[in-house]
Amino acid sequence: MTEEQNDETKRLEHADYESMFHELAAIRSGILAEAARSESLLDEVYPGYRESARNLLHYLTLRHRDLRALQQRLAAVGLSSLGRAESHVMATIDAVLCVLQQLIGSSVKFPTQDVDSIDYATGERLLVEHTEALLGPSTSGRWVRIMVTMPSEAADDYQLVYQLLQAGMECMRINCAHDDSASWSRMIEHLQRAERELGKSCRVVMDLAGPKLRTGPLKPGPQVIKIRPRRDQYGRVTEAACVWLSSVENPRISPKEVDASLPVAASWLKRLQQGDQIKLQDARDSRRSFTVTEVSEDGCRVEAVQTTYLIPGTRLRHERGMAPEEDCETLVGELPARENCLNLQRGDQLIVTRDLEPGGDALRNEAGQVTTPARIGCTIPEVFDDVHAGESIWFDDGKIGGIVEQVERMQAVVRITQTRLQGSKLRPDKGINLPESKLSLAALTEKDLEDLTFVAQHADVVELSFANRGADVEFLQAQLKQQAGRFPAIVLKIETRSGFENLPDMLLLAMRSSCCGVMIARGDLAVECGFERMAEVQEEILWICEAAHVPVIWATQVLETLAKEGIPSRAEITDAAMGHRAECVMLNKGPHVLQAVKTLDDILRRMQAHQTKKRAMLRELRLSTHAVDLHVSRDMDSKSS
């Protein structure tokens, strides 16, 4: 390169540095001007959150523009691209401006004393302090806390609570949508006892149920029981089906696990002996037989080696040997009705009603044409006041989707647009989401207000379900002030589109309390915002909360397959590892939740060495050691040859 070319390159570099300096200085001035206009918002913020609230305002103003082009130019010359500035916005901008100023050698100065900016260390310290205040001290070797939702059994099973605490649970979550105050008290008593015995501490987190919108009841299905033996791949019976017979007059529960229970006449039941045969014609008019295998005072067990359908009134005929005896017949008594469901296909109409009259499946004529669409009720009928034609509606965690075609006084007409290819089944008590409707529902129901008395007395943290707007946060704060108990910390559960869009406003209001946090409730949130946007949405929540130095709880379906079935999927292991970017990860209940806690503890400990928030931690990489050893080995081999 000639001297002239070298001078031209330096001139262009200088011009680029100067351009970046002025662009970033203008951004800085804009942030401070906007923050000054919002300064009144900080007056009511709790003193321990005031610096954090100001940094949040700085971050929101910074992200109000597209910074990608400037980021690429800064990164190209080895400077910070502002991509990790969440917890210390102004300090990061000022550091880059200082370097650029030295590179251009300009006499242009920018004021660095016009704002008390949070530096890197302070941002880290504030997040740690706020997290410990909300979630308690961290476990040695693991910064991210583990929260576990209590099953109903925890009220009567001390060992379960003890083992969960021993395995690494730092937060016990009690869902107020289930059980009652007596059960909640026993859960907390078990936790306190386990804390004393193990010398560990654990926060009590209580989740207010909120206005969960669900489908109403359906007409009961038929009273029919299907009895089916286990078979191998060739259809050969490997294990007979077991049926328990007890008297209609004094029914008793089988002492052993059975496939079905049948009520029969006590006088007939007393005649049975081990080895007897019971003949019948089932609901399909198929001839079947049972063999009596065990007799007791409470009833008897019989075995079936053929699939059998039984209904009330099915005639059972007792035979001993080959000769039927007198009074050898009885009728099957009343059976539990099968749970009903709606069978929905794409293109079907569904009527969603304001009342809770039991709904039913579509009625069809002889040609198979629908004469009356399927109907189902809604648990919160007032939502119809806020729903309009053309808006989307989702059922059962997004498994079934539709468009509202018409809203009438007592019902809404929905056209189903999303199901499985073979159709989907809609059952009672399944969630309903209306992501495009501006619902005016209050976040606290009458039940929540009743539960709040217990929560204020016993909980360290109260979770506000379906937090949608600032008024919801203010209402909860006002209600807590009226309680005679402690003032628990507040966690905002973000599970609707409105909650996500209003998060900054709700955070500033929550920061009026001495302690707060945010939960990413990814189940409903994914339905509300769209599954394809879920990754983006949860990232934005993490950024906003880090800017406010507010801890985040990563929730919903974490290691769900492991907790329920005992074996995790590959995808949920990766998902659990991503949860390390939050301050707490929540597990839901399941038969194998203890194993899930141990697995999550191991995952979080491993991830801590690799990543903190968005920052990769460059610990020694084992792959690099293998690569160097391989290179040395090959080099020695080449020299020896």
pLDDT at 503: 95
Q: Which of 43-52, 359-368, 390-399, 404-413 has the lowest mean pLDDT?
A: 359-368
DSSP secondary structure letter of residue 49 = G
- List the helix and strand counts (H, then E) for the chain: 18, 31
pLDDT tens figures, 63-118? 988 999 999 999 998 998 898 999 999 999 999 999 999 888 866 666 655 566 78
Q: What average pLDDT does the segment 173-195 reach?
A: 96
- The b/e string for 200-236 (b: 16+ C-beta within 10 A; e otherwise) is bebbbbbbbbbbbbebbbbeeeeebbebebeeeeeee
DSSP secondary structure letter of residue 379 = S
pLDDT tens figures, 207-239? 999 998 999 999 998 999 999 999 999 999 999
Question: Is 320 within 8 Å of 272 (Cβ atoms)?
Answer: no
| Among candidate residues 163, 135, 153, 166, the one with its CA nearest the CA of residue 585 | 135
> Distance (Å, rounded) from C-alpha 178 to C-alpha 183?
9
pLDDT, the chain, mean: 90
pLDDT tens figures, 542-591? 999 999 999 999 999 999 999 999 999 999 999 999 999 999 999 999 99
Angle at 95 between CA 90 and CA 98, to 5 degrees: 125
Answer left, alpha or beta for residue 368, where phi above 0 means left and psi between -120 and 50 means alpha: left
Answer left, alpha or beta for residue 21, where phi above 0 means left and psi between -120 and 50 means alpha: alpha
> Distance (Å, rounded) from C-alpha 166 to C-alpha 199?
10
Question: Is 470 within 8 Å of 509 (Cβ atoms)?
Answer: yes
Q: Does domain 225-331 have CATH number 2.60.120?
A: no
> Distance (Å, rounded) from C-alpha 25 to C-alpha 13?
18
**What's the whole-model pTM score?**
0.84
User: What are the residue ranges spanned by the domains of the chain?
Assistant: 3-118, 129-211+442-616, 225-331, 342-433
pLDDT at 548: 96
Instruction: Answer whether 129-211+442-616 and 225-331 agree in fold.
Output: no
Question: Is 483 within 8 Å of 453 (Cβ atoms)?
Answer: yes
pLDDT tens figures, 334-347? 999 888 999 999 99
Q: What average pLDDT does the segment 278-305 reach?
A: 94
pLDDT at 323: 47
> Distance (Å, rounded) from C-alpha 380 to C-alpha 215?
9
pLDDT at 615: 67
342-433, CATH topology level: M1 Pyruvate Kinase; Domain 3 (2.40.33)
pLDDT at 41: 86
pLDDT at 317: 92
Say if residue 633's pLDDT is above 50. yes
Query: Considering only the top CATH level, what class is 129-211+442-616?
Result: alpha beta
